[in-house]
Structure 1
Amino acid sequence: MTGGNDAPGGAGRTSGPEEASRPDGSPGPRRSGLRDPQRAVRGLGAGTLALEALVLLLALQPIRMVGGDLGGAAIGVVVALAVAAVGLAGMMRRPWAWHAGTALQGLLLLSGLLHWSLFVLGVIFALVWAYAWHVRRVILG
């Protein structure tokens, strides 16, 4: 017994990502194994931005309680960044949205001038965003 892959000519054989091949037998591009890789990558970007927005909004009160001197302008900047993150999360189908998300990470890093904890959040989310870019590059090529 061969485990169910005994179709003639290997037609029933399932190949891994490294073994993707064309119908003529020549090696083809690596496949991710996802049904819709574009959609999966968009979901990753949107999820990352939505999580960033949530964390930004939830971070306001602890920053104030720990002794952060967040004035009205600083709170306005954080809320504006969160709204921008939610807006970009909804626009991940647009080709420019990934670049705008990168700019958003830079703006969050710059908001660290208002309070050091915002810089820490900026570093964390810049790293997460860089990883999302890496996953996008690996999946979509």
Structure 2
Amino acid sequence: MTEHSHPSEAAAGSTPEGPAGHKPGEARERDLQLNLGGKPSGLRNPNRAVRGLAAGTLVLEALVLLLALMPIWVLRPPGGSMAAVTVALIAVVVAVALSATLRFPWGWWAVSAFQVVLLLLGFLHWAFAVVGVVFGLTWAYVLHVRRTVSR
């Protein structure tokens, strides 16, 4: 409604204007179109949120690798060496260390390569292949989230 219009004109079919000259809901619609500063996710810091998701995934993967030590030890071939157990312990340390590299672009590539290496370690023991498949798919989802959230 403008200063020179009569209140009965507002009721006659036109939508009343707010204090800034906008129609109700118009400012909110504009803000939604601007998408809150170009962040489609609505998160204050989407990159940090995705790094947290990725780091959490890697820590969970390290825990699963620790839990896989017992099946690796029990299901080793008779007279088998401790190579698979040693490799599992190294993989735990690498997974935790890689979680600290996610603030760098090369860190994401390194974690992706780590998932492939775990799949290849399936030739040493099948438990590595299982962990590699499960967390490879999980990592693919994390990369999808990273791509969609931090546009």
How many Å apart are 1:14 and its aligned residue?
6.7
After superposition, the C-alpha distances for 1:45-69 in whole angstroms (9 at most, x for unaligned) are 111111111110111113333x233
Aligned to 2:52: 43
Amino acid at match of 2:147: R
Please tell me whether residue 72 in structure 1 is matched to residue 88 in structure 2.
Answer: no
Aligned to 2:113: 103
Greater RCO, 1 or 2 (C-alpha within 8 Å, sep 6+): 2
How many Å apart are 1:120 and its aligned residue?
1.2
| TM-score, normalised by the number of residues in structure 2 | 0.74
Q: Distance in 2 between matches of 1:85 and 1:72?
A: 20
How many Å apart are 1:107 and its aligned residue?
0.8
Aligned to 2:63: 54
| Partner of residue 126 from structure 2, selected from 94, 109, 116 | 116
Percent of paired sites with the same residue = 49
Q: Distance in 2 between matches of 1:101 and 1:80?
A: 14
After superposition, the C-alpha distances for 1:55-113 in whole angstroms (9 at most, x for unaligned) are 10111113333x23363221111111111110011221111111000000011001101
**Which structure has the greater CA radius of gyration?**
2
Aligned to 2:143: 133
Q: Is the 8 A contact 1:57 1:82 kept in 2?
A: yes
Instruction: Report the aligned-residue RMSD.
Output: 2.5
Paired residues, number: 128
